[in-house]
């Protein structure tokens, strides 16, 4: 198909030109998604650990809820976030709709269950290995969470990456609450959607390749860290 | 406390992200997609910002969604193209006043092979009748947008009810103009589009304009300031300033000057 | 520091699904004793150890008294315990020691104590390596060294020489007998009857969740207290 060769050329020229508009979009994408993943990790990792080791009523129900939420459709999250953040909504007075902050919130909601759900599995495995030692040493739940999060860190990075991938790749939620406003809330995916709708398929595909390239770079970086850890047998 | 957290921490965390947070003169414009996709705002808004220092943020969605968003007060200004719906919006107290800004026209596009045999000398009603009789595939927006409203009115004017053939040859895409054009191009279908979007559209392949020029294809764009009594949080002063510029001499001249491939896409017609 | 010995167990029962797994009506461990806990697999030896250390919940710990205290962090800080999964394999060798020593020491004292423990376990050259790369023998030496590092009053070891080669087993045995010589009380689960005879002054035989023989080691092996003990010493299956 002719679009592909054009798209490669387009991607190359986009990258080589260091087009400031492109850089702006890429950097906003990264910053919104990284911040969302950071906040989601701060909530999701302790939640995942708590679901793995905690004993409290409703734990199984909460686990099911988290696992279900791992598959939340972005447009649904976007719609709910829109309804809440709209000036007519419950959080309207915050004036957050159509801001990068709103996009961070929506992506955090999308990503947090993924991080919590995936990390829970890692914590379950690690905890079966550590349970007796942690208990014998009389560690408080909080101290146990710290040990588990630290010692599972290489496995947890995979969960964070999955969350980051989801955040950078989704378009439904950021489009609804961000509005794809030029120079303000326009990110990679909303630009791709917009260029597609303008029939600029080569540009859209080129941008898609840039997105993939970034995802590749991030994965390569994390993988190399992991491989180094594996070589030292810490995983 | 949670709200306080959001209000304080998130914007700080994002401060490095975003060049400048909302300042005094920021207009939130809910707009139809054609004006954005045609590149009009990219030409117009920098001029406005240069002239006034105000910033305009455009959220481009279908006319129906733009009106609903504005009804939720998520806009200072509304710029769409569905006059009846716009007037209803003002009458219901959501908008303060409506002004004409500019116009262009709708065109019927279809495959070069033109299986329905639509003649360029036909009226819209005749063209649609030919399409209907030939059961030629037709992609409808089906999304309550300005273009969709216009299309429904045109079928009604031709006394035809294509909805009963939905899913057969009448394809309701439920998406924006661009996505619908992509679908029409790929499925050899006809569709109705505004001229500006079509001229700017980059994936025409073997599609072309098959019918244009009928009086009923006239496409009027209007602008409305969201009513501050209904929506106390809107920046009404900035909204008024923007509308005054857009419908005044500088804005109208800028609209007339915007061209793609040497074709003028929008024709200013604000009341002086 | 309060005394944790003697250890006494009264009316300790554990059931799962209505099936009795452990039933110890009355049993004591005196300060300074070294006791071997022997018996076939599934006899309840490890389960008893878990009950003694407070790893079982459901109120089982109420049946266990460490000089008047129920098992918990306070008691366990005076005990060196080696369970069947005794190490943090995602940490380095020295980090495993630090984790144990941090309960009582800090700074240079902690480092010095860790270095000394590693030296005693012949692991000084592996300090910075991941515990995962250690051989089975090295792992067990590290685990025992970790259990001994805070000079505990009581040592509770679950098969510390199982599947070790001769030299590692000797190292572990030397570490344990050294601790006993300096006054530590020992409860040792083992299948190695010769080790039991060498290290322990008293031998306890468990079968089907119950203690069926309990005698001084010499007596136990030379003139077994009952027919089951005699059969077990002879290497026969217990019915």
For residues C186 and C35, is the Cβ–Cβ distance under 8 A?
A: yes
Q: Name the residue among A130, A137, A233 with its Cβ closest to that of C103.
A: A137
Range of the structural domain that residue A119 is part of: 4-234
For chain B, percent of residues with pLDDT exceeding 90: 78
> How many folded domains does chain A comprise?
1
Contact (CB, 8 A) for C193 and C224? no
Name the minimum distance, in Å, from the CA of C88 to any CA of chain A: 7
Mean residue pLDDT across chain A: 89
Q: ipTM score here? A: 0.79
Mean pLDDT in chain B?
Answer: 90
pLDDT tens-place string over residues B150-197: 999 999 999 999 999 998 999 999 888 888 999 999 899 999 999 999
Query: Does residue B23 have a pLDDT over 60?
Result: no
Single out the residue of B55, B58, B56, B54 nearest to residue B36, CA to CA.
Answer: B58
Per-residue HEC secondary structure of C64-105 comes to EEECCECCCHHHHCCEEEECCCCCCCCCEHHHHHHHHHCCCC
The pLDDT, as a whole number, for residue B12 is 47
Q: What is the pLDDT of residues C107-116, one digit of tens each?
A: 888 888 888 8
- Residue contact C100–A151, C-beta within 8 A: no
Among the residue ranges B88-92, C121-125, C189-193, the one predicted with the least confidence is C121-125
Query: Which of these ranges, A6-10, A148-152, B135-139, C151-155, has the smallest mean pLDDT?
Result: A6-10
pLDDT at residue C182 is higher than 60:
yes
pLDDT of B19 > 60? The answer is: no
For residue C188 the two structure tokens come to 């040792």
| pLDDT tens for the 235 residues of chain A, in order | 456 777 778 778 877 777 888 889 999 999 999 999 999 999 999 999 999 988 889 999 999 999 999 999 999 999 999 999 998 889 988 889 999 999 999 999 999 999 999 999 999 999 988 888 888 887 888 888 888 989 998 889 889 999 999 999 999 999 999 999 998 999 999 999 998 888 888 888 888 988 898 889 988 988 888 888 777 766 6
The answer to whether the CB atoms of A87 and B19 lie below 8 A apart is: no
User: Which residues of A lie closer than 8 Å to B, measured between beta carbons?
Assistant: 27-28, 31-32, 35, 86-89, 91-101, 104-105, 179-184, 194, 196-203
Return phi, psi of residue C22, to 5°.
Answer: -150, 130
CB contact under 8 A, A199 and B42: no
Distance from CA of A47 to the nearest CA of C (A): 22
List the CATH number of the domain containing A40.
1.10.3720.10
Q: Which residues of A touch C74 (CB under 8 A)?
A: 138
In Å, what is the CA distance from B79 to each residue of A227, B64, B95? 55, 11, 11
**Confidence at residue C238, expressed as pLDDT on a 0 to 100 scale:** 76
- Per CATH, which fold does B105-217 belong to? D-Maltodextrin-Binding Protein; domain 2 (3.40.190)
What is each CA distance from C25 to C9, C63, C227, in whole angstroms? 7, 9, 21
CB contacts of A179 in chain B (<8 Å) are 57-59
* pLDDT of residue B28 exceeding 60: yes
Q: Under an 8 A CB cutoff, do B10 and A180 touch?
A: no
pLDDT tens readout for residues C30-58: 998 999 999 988 888 898 998 888 888 77
Residues of A in contact with B57 (CB under 8 A): 98, 179, 181-182, 184
Chain A residue with the nearest C-alpha to that of B58: A181
Choice among A47-56, B3-12, C183-192 with the minimum mean pLDDT: B3-12
- How is chain B split into domains, by residue range? 27-104+220-268, 105-217
The phi and psi torsions of A180 (rounded to 5 degrees) equal 55, 45
Extract the tokens encoding A214: 């970034």
Domains of chain C, earliest start first: 7-87+151-233 (3.40.50.300)
Enumerate neighbours of A (3 or more CB pairs within 8 A).
B, C
Q: What is the CATH number of domain B27-104+220-268?
A: 3.40.190.10
What is the per-residue pLDDT across B106-132, written as a single tens digit (0 to 9) for each? 999 999 999 999 998 999 999 999 999
Say whether B105-217 and B27-104+220-268 share the same fold. Answer: yes
Q: Do A199 and B6 touch (CB under 8 A)?
A: no
Hey, is the C-beta of B259 within 8 angstroms of any chain A C-beta? no
> Any chain A CB within 8 A of the CB of C132?
yes
Check B202 against A181: CB less than 8 A apart.
no
Number of Cβ pairs < 8 A linking chain A and chain B = 105
C5 versus A189: the higher-pLDDT residue is A189
**pLDDT of amino acid B111:** 96
Nearest to A138 among C77, C86, C130 (CB): C77
């Amino acid at each position: 198909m002719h679009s592909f060769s054009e798209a490669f050329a387009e991607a190359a020229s986009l990258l080589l030109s260091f087009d400031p508009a492109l850089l702006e979009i890429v950097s906003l994408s990264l910053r919104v998604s990284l911040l969302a993943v950071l906040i989601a990790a701060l909530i999701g990792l302790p939640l995942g650990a708590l679901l793995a080791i905690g004993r409290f009523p409703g734990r199984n129900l909460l686990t099911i809820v988290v696992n279900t939420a791992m598959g939340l459709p972005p447009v649904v999250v976007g719609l709910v976030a829109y309804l809440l953040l709209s000036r007519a909504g419950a959080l309207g007075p915050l004036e957050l709709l159509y801001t990068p902050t709103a996009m961070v919130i929506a992506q955090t909601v999308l990503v947090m269950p993924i991080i919590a759900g995936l990390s829970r599995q890692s914590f379950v495995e690690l905890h079966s290995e550590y349970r007796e030692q942690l208990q014998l040493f009389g560690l408080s739940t909080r101290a146990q969470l710290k040990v588990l999060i630290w010692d599972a860190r290489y496995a947890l990075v995979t969960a964070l990456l999955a969350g980051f991938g989801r955040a950078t790749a989704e378009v439904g939620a950021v489009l609804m609450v961000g509005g794809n406003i030029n120079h303000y809330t326009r990110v990679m995916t909303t630009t791709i959607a917009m260029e597609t709708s303008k029939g600029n398929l080569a540009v859209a595909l080129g941008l898609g390749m840039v997105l993939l390239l970034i995802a590749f770079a991030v994965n390569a970086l994390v993988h190399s860290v992991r491989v180094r850890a594996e070589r030292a047998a810490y995983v | 406390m949670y709200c306080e957290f959001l209000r304080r921490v998130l914007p700080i965390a994002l401060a490095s992200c975003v060049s400048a947070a909302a300042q005094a003169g920021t207009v939130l414009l809910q707009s139809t997609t054609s004006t954005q996709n045609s590149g009009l705002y990219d030409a117009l808004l920098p001029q406005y910002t240069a002239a006034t220092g105000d910033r305009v943020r455009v959220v481009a969605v279908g006319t129906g969604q733009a009106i609903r968003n504005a009804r939720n007060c998520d806009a200072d200004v509304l710029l769409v193209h569905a006059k009846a719906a716009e007037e209803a919006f003002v009458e219901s107290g959501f908008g303060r006043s409506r002004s004409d800004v500019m116009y262009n026209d709708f065109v019927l596009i279809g495959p070069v092979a033109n299986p329905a045999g639509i003649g360029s000398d036909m009226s819209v009603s005749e063209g649609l009748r030919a399409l209907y009789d030939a059961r030629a595939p037709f992609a409808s927006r089906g999304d309550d947008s300005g273009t969709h409203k216009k299309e429904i009115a045109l079928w009604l004017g031709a006394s035809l009810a294509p909805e009963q053939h939905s899913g057969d040859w009448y394809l309701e895409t439920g998406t924006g103009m661009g996505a619908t054009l992509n679908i029409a191009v790929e499925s050899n279908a006809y569709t109705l589009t505004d001229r500006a979007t079509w001229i700017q559209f980059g994936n025409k392949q073997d599609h072309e304009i098959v019918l244009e020029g009928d009086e009923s294809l006239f496409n009027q764009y209007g602008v409305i300031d969201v009513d501050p009594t209904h929506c106390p949080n809107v920046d009404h002063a900035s909204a008024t300033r923007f509308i005054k510029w857009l419908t005044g001499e500088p804005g109208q001249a800028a609209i007339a000057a915007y061209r793609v491939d040497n074709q003028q896409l929008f024709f200013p017609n604000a009341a002086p | 520091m309060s005394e944790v010995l003697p250890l006494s167990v009264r009316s300790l029962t554990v059931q799962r699904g209505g099936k009795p797994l452990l039933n110890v009506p009355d049993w004591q461990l005196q300060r300074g004793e070294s006791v071997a806990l022997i018996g076939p697999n599934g006899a309840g030896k490890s389960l008893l150890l878990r009950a003694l250390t407070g790893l079982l919940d459901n109120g089982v710990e109420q049946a266990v008294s460490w000089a008047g205290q129920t098992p918990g962090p306070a008691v366990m800080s005076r005990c060196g315990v080696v369970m069947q999964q005794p190490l943090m394999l995602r940490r380095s060798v020295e980090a495993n020691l630090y984790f144990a020593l941090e309960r009582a020491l800090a700074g240079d004292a902690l480092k010095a104590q860790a270095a000394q423990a590693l030296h005693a376990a012949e692991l000084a050259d592996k300090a910075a390596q991941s515990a995962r790369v250690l051989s089975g023998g090295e792992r067990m030496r590290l685990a025992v060294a970790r259990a001994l590092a805070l000079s505990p009053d009581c040592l509770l070891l679950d098969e510390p020489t199982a599947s070790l080669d001769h030299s590692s087993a000797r190292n572990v045995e030397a570490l344990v007998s050294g601790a006993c010589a300096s006054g530590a009380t020992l409860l040792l689960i083992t299948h190695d009857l010769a080790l039991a005879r060498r290290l322990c002054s008293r031998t306890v035989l468990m079968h089907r969740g119950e203690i069926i023989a309990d005698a001084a080691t010499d007596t136990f092996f030379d003139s077994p207290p009952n027919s089951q003990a005699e059969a077990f010493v002879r290497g026969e299956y217990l019915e």
